[in-house]
Amino acid sequence: MDLGQVSEYCYNLTNSYLEIKNQTQVIADTQDAIRLTKRYFLQDIFPRWSPLSCEISFSYNGGKDCQVLLLLYLGCIWEFFLNSVQDSQYDRQYHQYPLRSLPTVFIDQEETFATMEDFVASTSERYCLSLYESVRDEGKKLSMPEAFDQYLKLHSDTKAIVIGIRYTDPYAADLKTIQPTDDDWPDFLRLQPLLHWKLSNIWSFLLFSNEPICGIYGMGFTSIGSIKNTLPNPHLNVDRKDKPSLLFQWEIAHAFGKTDDQDPEVNVSQVNHKDLALLNNSNEKYLPGWYLTDDSLERAGRVKRC
Ligand code: FMN
Protein backbone atom coordinates (compact mmCIF):
# COMPACT_ATOMS: atom_id res chain seq x y z
CA MET A 1 0.00 0.00 0.00
CA ASP A 2 1.21 3.54 -0.70
CA LEU A 3 0.63 6.37 1.79
CA GLY A 4 -2.68 7.38 0.19
CA GLN A 5 -3.98 3.82 0.45
CA VAL A 6 -2.76 3.42 4.06
CA SER A 7 -4.43 6.71 4.98
CA GLU A 8 -7.70 5.63 3.38
CA TYR A 9 -7.43 2.26 5.18
CA CYS A 10 -6.99 4.05 8.54
CA TYR A 11 -9.95 6.30 7.72
CA ASN A 12 -12.13 3.22 7.11
CA LEU A 13 -10.77 1.54 10.25
CA THR A 14 -11.63 4.56 12.39
CA ASN A 15 -15.12 4.85 10.89
CA SER A 16 -15.69 1.15 11.46
CA TYR A 17 -14.83 1.55 15.16
CA LEU A 18 -17.11 4.59 15.43
CA GLU A 19 -19.98 2.58 13.94
CA ILE A 20 -19.87 -0.15 16.63
CA LYS A 21 -23.23 -0.18 18.43
CA ASN A 22 -24.44 -1.46 21.80
CA GLN A 23 -21.20 -2.97 23.01
CA THR A 24 -19.18 -2.28 26.18
CA GLN A 25 -18.90 0.99 28.10
CA VAL A 26 -15.18 1.03 27.20
CA ILE A 27 -16.06 1.04 23.49
CA ALA A 28 -18.57 3.87 23.96
CA ASP A 29 -15.95 5.88 25.91
CA THR A 30 -13.31 5.17 23.27
CA GLN A 31 -15.66 6.37 20.54
CA ASP A 32 -15.97 9.68 22.44
CA ALA A 33 -12.19 9.84 22.82
CA ILE A 34 -11.75 9.29 19.05
CA ARG A 35 -14.31 11.99 18.18
CA LEU A 36 -12.43 14.51 20.32
CA THR A 37 -9.03 13.60 18.84
CA LYS A 38 -10.50 13.89 15.33
CA ARG A 39 -11.93 17.29 16.17
CA TYR A 40 -8.53 18.48 17.40
CA PHE A 41 -6.87 17.36 14.17
CA LEU A 42 -9.50 18.47 11.67
CA GLN A 43 -10.75 21.69 13.29
CA ASP A 44 -7.89 23.01 15.43
CA ILE A 45 -4.66 21.68 13.95
CA PHE A 46 -4.90 21.04 10.19
CA PRO A 47 -6.34 24.47 9.28
CA ARG A 48 -3.19 25.99 10.87
CA TRP A 49 -0.51 23.49 9.85
CA SER A 50 -1.28 21.45 6.79
CA PRO A 51 -0.46 17.75 7.15
CA LEU A 52 -0.03 17.65 3.38
CA SER A 53 3.01 19.95 3.62
CA CYS A 54 6.16 19.42 5.69
CA GLU A 55 5.01 21.73 8.50
CA ILE A 56 3.95 18.86 10.75
CA SER A 57 6.06 15.94 11.83
CA PHE A 58 5.03 12.93 13.92
CA SER A 59 6.99 11.61 16.90
CA TYR A 60 7.04 7.80 16.64
CA ASN A 61 8.75 5.13 18.75
CA GLY A 62 6.64 2.02 18.11
CA GLY A 63 4.85 2.25 21.49
CA LYS A 64 1.10 1.55 21.74
CA ASP A 65 0.07 5.17 22.36
CA CYS A 66 1.87 6.66 19.40
CA GLN A 67 0.71 3.77 17.20
CA VAL A 68 -2.92 4.50 18.09
CA LEU A 69 -2.36 8.19 17.40
CA LEU A 70 -0.64 7.38 14.10
CA LEU A 71 -3.65 5.34 12.92
CA LEU A 72 -6.00 8.20 13.81
CA TYR A 73 -3.65 10.80 12.30
CA LEU A 74 -3.43 8.93 8.98
CA GLY A 75 -7.23 8.56 8.88
CA CYS A 76 -7.68 12.27 9.59
CA ILE A 77 -5.20 13.22 6.86
CA TRP A 78 -7.30 11.21 4.41
CA GLU A 79 -10.46 13.01 5.57
CA PHE A 80 -8.68 16.37 5.27
CA PHE A 81 -7.59 15.42 1.74
CA LEU A 82 -11.16 14.39 0.80
CA ASN A 83 -12.52 17.67 2.18
CA SER A 84 -9.92 19.70 0.29
CA VAL A 85 -10.75 18.11 -3.07
CA GLN A 86 -14.51 18.26 -2.53
CA ASP A 87 -14.58 21.98 -3.31
CA SER A 88 -12.58 21.50 -6.49
CA GLN A 89 -14.20 21.64 -9.92
CA TYR A 90 -12.43 18.39 -10.85
CA ASP A 91 -13.49 14.89 -9.75
CA ARG A 92 -11.65 13.13 -6.89
CA GLN A 93 -10.02 10.72 -9.34
CA TYR A 94 -8.07 13.63 -10.87
CA HIS A 95 -6.53 14.56 -7.55
CA GLN A 96 -3.37 12.81 -6.55
CA TYR A 97 -2.62 12.28 -2.86
CA PRO A 98 0.16 14.83 -2.36
CA LEU A 99 2.32 12.90 0.13
CA ARG A 100 4.45 9.85 -0.62
CA SER A 101 5.78 9.37 2.90
CA LEU A 102 4.94 10.76 6.32
CA PRO A 103 7.52 13.00 8.04
CA THR A 104 8.31 11.18 11.29
CA VAL A 105 10.93 11.53 14.00
CA PHE A 106 12.23 8.91 16.43
CA ILE A 107 14.41 10.27 19.21
CA ASP A 108 15.88 7.13 20.62
CA GLN A 109 18.00 7.87 23.63
CA GLU A 110 18.18 4.62 25.50
CA GLU A 111 18.97 0.99 24.78
CA THR A 112 15.65 -0.36 23.57
CA PHE A 113 14.38 -3.91 23.12
CA ALA A 114 15.42 -5.51 19.82
CA THR A 115 11.74 -6.45 19.28
CA MET A 116 10.87 -2.75 19.52
CA GLU A 117 13.57 -1.85 16.99
CA ASP A 118 12.31 -4.55 14.61
CA PHE A 119 8.78 -3.23 15.11
CA VAL A 120 9.72 0.37 14.36
CA ALA A 121 11.44 -0.82 11.15
CA SER A 122 8.52 -3.01 9.98
CA THR A 123 5.83 -0.45 10.82
CA SER A 124 7.84 2.33 9.16
CA GLU A 125 7.42 0.39 5.96
CA ARG A 126 3.81 -0.53 6.66
CA TYR A 127 2.75 3.07 7.33
CA CYS A 128 5.08 4.67 4.72
CA LEU A 129 7.01 6.69 7.30
CA SER A 130 9.98 8.78 6.35
CA LEU A 131 11.64 8.15 9.70
CA TYR A 132 14.46 10.30 11.04
CA GLU A 133 16.29 8.41 13.79
CA SER A 134 18.47 10.32 16.23
CA VAL A 135 22.16 9.51 16.47
CA ARG A 136 22.73 6.73 18.98
CA ASP A 137 26.45 6.74 19.39
CA GLU A 138 27.29 6.18 23.08
CA GLY A 139 30.29 8.52 22.74
CA LYS A 140 28.17 11.54 21.90
CA LYS A 141 24.87 10.92 23.64
CA LEU A 142 22.53 13.84 23.06
CA SER A 143 19.82 15.05 25.38
CA MET A 144 16.27 14.99 23.99
CA PRO A 145 16.21 18.76 23.29
CA GLU A 146 19.62 18.51 21.55
CA ALA A 147 18.40 15.62 19.42
CA PHE A 148 15.32 17.63 18.37
CA ASP A 149 17.57 20.59 17.64
CA GLN A 150 19.50 18.42 15.18
CA TYR A 151 16.28 17.20 13.63
CA LEU A 152 15.04 20.76 13.12
CA LYS A 153 18.32 21.78 11.50
CA LEU A 154 17.74 19.09 8.88
CA HIS A 155 13.96 19.64 8.61
CA SER A 156 13.70 23.39 8.91
CA ASP A 157 10.12 23.56 7.56
CA THR A 158 8.83 21.78 10.69
CA LYS A 159 6.60 24.04 12.76
CA ALA A 160 4.82 21.47 14.93
CA ILE A 161 5.29 17.86 16.09
CA VAL A 162 2.51 15.42 17.01
CA ILE A 163 3.13 13.56 20.29
CA GLY A 164 1.18 10.57 21.67
CA ILE A 165 1.40 11.63 25.31
CA ARG A 166 -1.54 11.09 27.73
CA TYR A 167 -2.56 12.91 30.94
CA THR A 168 -1.67 9.82 32.98
CA ASP A 169 1.97 9.89 31.79
CA PRO A 170 4.53 11.40 34.18
CA TYR A 171 4.45 15.24 34.31
CA ALA A 172 1.64 15.31 31.74
CA ALA A 173 -1.34 16.27 33.94
CA ASP A 174 -1.18 19.99 33.00
CA LEU A 175 -0.30 19.70 29.32
CA LYS A 176 -2.44 21.28 26.59
CA THR A 177 -3.51 19.97 23.19
CA ILE A 178 -1.46 22.68 21.46
CA GLN A 179 1.42 24.35 23.27
CA PRO A 180 4.91 25.62 22.59
CA THR A 181 7.92 23.70 23.87
CA ASP A 182 9.48 24.77 27.19
CA ASP A 183 12.15 27.47 27.27
CA ASP A 184 15.03 25.01 27.44
CA TRP A 185 13.80 23.16 24.34
CA PRO A 186 14.14 24.12 20.66
CA ASP A 187 11.23 26.23 19.55
CA PHE A 188 8.28 24.41 17.95
CA LEU A 189 4.68 23.56 18.78
CA ARG A 190 3.72 20.39 20.59
CA LEU A 191 0.50 18.86 19.25
CA GLN A 192 -0.92 16.50 21.89
CA PRO A 193 -4.40 15.32 20.81
CA LEU A 194 -4.28 12.01 22.77
CA LEU A 195 -4.04 13.52 26.27
CA HIS A 196 -7.57 12.48 27.30
CA TRP A 197 -7.13 8.79 26.36
CA LYS A 198 -7.17 6.15 29.13
CA LEU A 199 -5.23 2.90 28.96
CA SER A 200 -8.47 0.95 28.30
CA ASN A 201 -9.25 3.22 25.30
CA ILE A 202 -5.81 2.54 23.85
CA TRP A 203 -6.15 -1.25 24.07
CA SER A 204 -9.74 -1.28 22.86
CA PHE A 205 -8.93 0.61 19.66
CA LEU A 206 -5.58 -1.07 19.04
CA LEU A 207 -6.95 -4.61 19.51
CA PHE A 208 -9.92 -3.82 17.27
CA SER A 209 -7.62 -2.35 14.60
CA ASN A 210 -6.07 -5.78 13.95
CA GLU A 211 -2.82 -3.92 13.22
CA PRO A 212 0.38 -5.64 14.38
CA ILE A 213 1.12 -4.77 18.02
CA CYS A 214 4.72 -4.71 19.22
CA GLY A 215 5.51 -8.26 20.46
CA ILE A 216 6.99 -7.01 23.70
CA TYR A 217 3.46 -6.17 24.93
CA GLY A 218 2.51 -9.82 24.44
CA MET A 219 5.12 -10.73 27.08
CA GLY A 220 3.44 -8.82 29.92
CA PHE A 221 4.95 -5.38 29.38
CA THR A 222 2.64 -2.37 29.62
CA SER A 223 5.00 0.61 29.29
CA ILE A 224 8.25 0.30 27.43
CA GLY A 225 11.37 2.25 28.31
CA SER A 226 15.01 1.24 28.26
CA ILE A 227 16.00 -2.45 28.60
CA LYS A 228 17.73 -1.41 31.80
CA ASN A 229 14.63 -0.11 33.55
CA THR A 230 11.70 -2.05 32.08
CA LEU A 231 10.34 -5.37 33.33
CA PRO A 232 7.04 -7.14 32.73
CA ASN A 233 4.28 -5.61 34.83
CA PRO A 234 4.16 -7.48 38.18
CA HIS A 235 0.36 -7.05 38.30
CA LEU A 236 0.13 -9.35 35.27
CA ASN A 237 2.00 -12.21 36.93
CA VAL A 238 -0.14 -15.31 36.33
CA ASP A 239 0.43 -16.49 39.91
CA ARG A 240 -1.30 -13.46 41.43
CA LYS A 241 -4.69 -14.04 42.98
CA ASP A 242 -5.90 -10.56 41.93
CA LYS A 243 -4.69 -10.77 38.31
CA PRO A 244 -6.97 -8.86 35.93
CA SER A 245 -9.34 -10.47 33.44
CA LEU A 246 -9.64 -9.62 29.75
CA LEU A 247 -11.94 -6.68 28.92
CA PHE A 248 -11.56 -6.84 25.14
CA GLN A 249 -12.99 -10.17 23.96
CA TRP A 250 -15.38 -8.37 21.62
CA GLU A 251 -12.65 -6.24 20.00
CA ILE A 252 -10.40 -9.27 19.45
CA ALA A 253 -13.19 -11.46 18.03
CA HIS A 254 -14.58 -8.70 15.76
CA ALA A 255 -11.31 -7.03 14.81
CA PHE A 256 -11.25 -4.92 11.64
CA GLY A 257 -11.05 -7.04 8.47
CA LYS A 258 -11.30 -10.33 10.40
CA THR A 259 -13.76 -12.90 9.07
CA ASP A 260 -15.94 -14.86 11.50
CA ASP A 261 -14.19 -18.15 10.89
CA GLN A 262 -10.73 -16.75 11.66
CA ASP A 263 -9.03 -17.56 14.97
CA PRO A 264 -9.64 -14.84 17.53
CA GLU A 265 -5.93 -14.23 17.97
CA VAL A 266 -4.17 -10.95 18.65
CA ASN A 267 -1.86 -9.77 15.88
CA VAL A 268 1.47 -9.35 17.72
CA SER A 269 4.87 -8.90 16.07
CA GLN A 270 7.51 -11.59 16.50
CA VAL A 271 9.66 -11.34 19.63
CA ASN A 272 13.35 -11.01 18.73
CA HIS A 273 15.48 -13.91 20.02
CA LYS A 274 17.68 -11.46 21.96
CA ASP A 275 14.67 -10.41 24.02
CA LEU A 276 13.48 -14.02 24.44
CA ALA A 277 16.83 -14.86 26.02
CA LEU A 278 16.51 -11.83 28.29
CA LEU A 279 12.96 -12.70 29.36
CA ASN A 280 13.39 -16.44 29.75
CA ASN A 281 15.95 -15.84 32.48
CA SER A 282 13.12 -15.92 34.96
CA ASN A 283 10.49 -18.65 35.39
CA GLU A 284 7.74 -16.12 35.99
CA LYS A 285 4.87 -16.06 33.48
CA TYR A 286 2.81 -12.99 32.63
CA LEU A 287 -0.51 -12.22 30.99
CA PRO A 288 -0.27 -10.00 27.88
CA GLY A 289 -0.10 -6.25 28.45
CA TRP A 290 -3.68 -5.63 27.25
CA TYR A 291 -5.06 -7.36 30.38
CA LEU A 292 -4.05 -4.29 32.39
CA THR A 293 -6.47 -1.35 32.25
CA ASP A 294 -5.70 0.45 35.51
CA ASP A 295 -3.83 3.61 34.44
CA SER A 296 -2.21 3.97 37.86
CA LEU A 297 -0.44 0.60 37.41
CA GLU A 298 0.73 1.11 33.83
CA ARG A 299 4.33 1.89 34.82
CA ALA A 300 4.62 -0.67 37.60
CA GLY A 301 7.15 -2.58 35.45
CA ARG A 302 9.45 0.46 35.21
CA VAL A 303 12.00 -0.50 37.87
CA LYS A 304 15.75 -0.85 38.10
CA ARG A 305 17.13 -4.25 37.16
CA CYS A 306 19.50 -5.52 39.87
N1 FMN B 1 9.41 17.68 27.75
C2 FMN B 1 9.52 18.86 28.38
O3 FMN B 1 9.75 18.89 29.59
N4 FMN B 1 9.38 20.05 27.69
C5 FMN B 1 9.13 20.08 26.37
O6 FMN B 1 9.00 21.14 25.79
C7 FMN B 1 9.03 18.84 25.67
N8 FMN B 1 8.79 18.80 24.33
C9 FMN B 1 8.71 17.60 23.71
C10 FMN B 1 8.51 17.56 22.33
C11 FMN B 1 8.45 16.33 21.67
C12 FMN B 1 8.22 16.29 20.17
C13 FMN B 1 8.57 15.12 22.39
C14 FMN B 1 8.50 13.77 21.69
C15 FMN B 1 8.77 15.16 23.75
C16 FMN B 1 8.85 16.38 24.43
N17 FMN B 1 9.06 16.42 25.79
C18 FMN B 1 9.17 17.63 26.43
C19 FMN B 1 9.24 15.18 26.58
C20 FMN B 1 7.90 14.44 26.83
O21 FMN B 1 7.01 15.27 27.54
C22 FMN B 1 8.14 13.12 27.59
O23 FMN B 1 8.65 13.37 28.86
C24 FMN B 1 9.07 12.22 26.88
O25 FMN B 1 8.60 12.05 25.55
C26 FMN B 1 9.24 10.83 27.54
O27 FMN B 1 8.01 10.15 27.54
P28 FMN B 1 7.92 8.58 27.88
O29 FMN B 1 8.60 8.35 29.20
O30 FMN B 1 6.43 8.31 27.96
O31 FMN B 1 8.55 7.83 26.76
Do 37 and 167 lie in one domain? The reply is yes
Domain assignment of residue 304, yes or no: no
160 lines ligand 1 (CB under 6 A): no
What average pLDDT score do residues 168-196 get? Answer: 97
Domain assignment of residue 178, yes or no: yes
pLDDT above 70 covers a percentage of the chain that reads 93
Do 24 and 131 lie in one domain? The reply is yes
Do 120 and 213 lie in one domain? The reply is no
Pocket perturbation via mutation, ligand 1, pick of 190, 191, 228 by most ligand atoms within 8 A of CB? 190
Predicted local distance difference test score (pLDDT) of residue 306 = 44
Domain assignment of residue 305, yes or no: no
Report yes or no: 41 and 218 within 8 Å, Cβ to Cβ. no
DSSP state of 261: T
Which residues, at least 6 apart from 222, have a Cβ–Cβ distance to it below 8 Å? 199, 233, 236, 289, 292, 297, 298, 299, 300, 301
Do 186 and 220 lie in one domain? The reply is no
Pocket perturbation via mutation, ligand 1, pick of 181, 214, 222, 227 by most ligand atoms within 8 A of CB? 181
Do 94 and 207 lie in one domain? The reply is no
pLDDT over threshold 80, residue 61: yes
Q: Which CATH number fits the domain that encloses residue 144? A: 3.40.50.620
ipTM above 0.85, yes or no: yes
Do 83 and 122 lie in one domain? The reply is yes
190 lines ligand 1 (CB under 6 A): yes
| Residue ranges of E strands in the chain | 56-59, 102-106, 129-133, 160-162, 178-180, 189-191
Domain assignment of residue 93, yes or no: yes
Please state, in angstroms and rounded to a whole number, the distance separating the CA atoms of residues 217 and 155.
32
Report yes or no: 226 and 210 within 8 Å, Cβ to Cβ. no
Model confidence at 145, pLDDT cuts 50, 70, 90, reads very high
If phi > 0 it is left, if psi is from -120 to 50 it is alpha, else beta; for residue 70 that is: alpha
Most confident range, picked from 27-31, 227-231, 261-265 = 27-31
Do 26 and 153 lie in one domain? The reply is yes
Domain assignment of residue 146, yes or no: yes
182 lines ligand 1 (CB under 6 A): yes
Do 239 and 293 lie in one domain? The reply is yes
Please state, in angstroms and rounded to a whole number, the distance separating the CA atoms of residues 12 and 271.
29
What distance in angstroms lies between residue 171's CA and the mean position of ligand 1's atoms? 9
Do 95 and 184 lie in one domain? The reply is yes
In three-state secondary structure terms, 229 is: helix
What distance in angstroms lies between residue 241's CA and the mean position of ligand 1's atoms? 36
Spatial CA neighbour of 169 closest among 194, 143, 203, 205:
194
In DSSP terms, which residues pair with 160 in a beta bridge? 56, 189
Do 7 and 95 lie in one domain? The reply is yes
Predicted local distance difference test score (pLDDT) of residue 116 = 95
198 lines ligand 1 (CB under 6 A): no
Range of the domain at 154: 3-190
Predicted local distance difference test score (pLDDT) of residue 304 = 58
What average pLDDT score do residues 88-96 get? Answer: 69
Q: Whose CA is nearest to atom 12 of ligand 1?
A: 161
Total domain count, the chain: 2
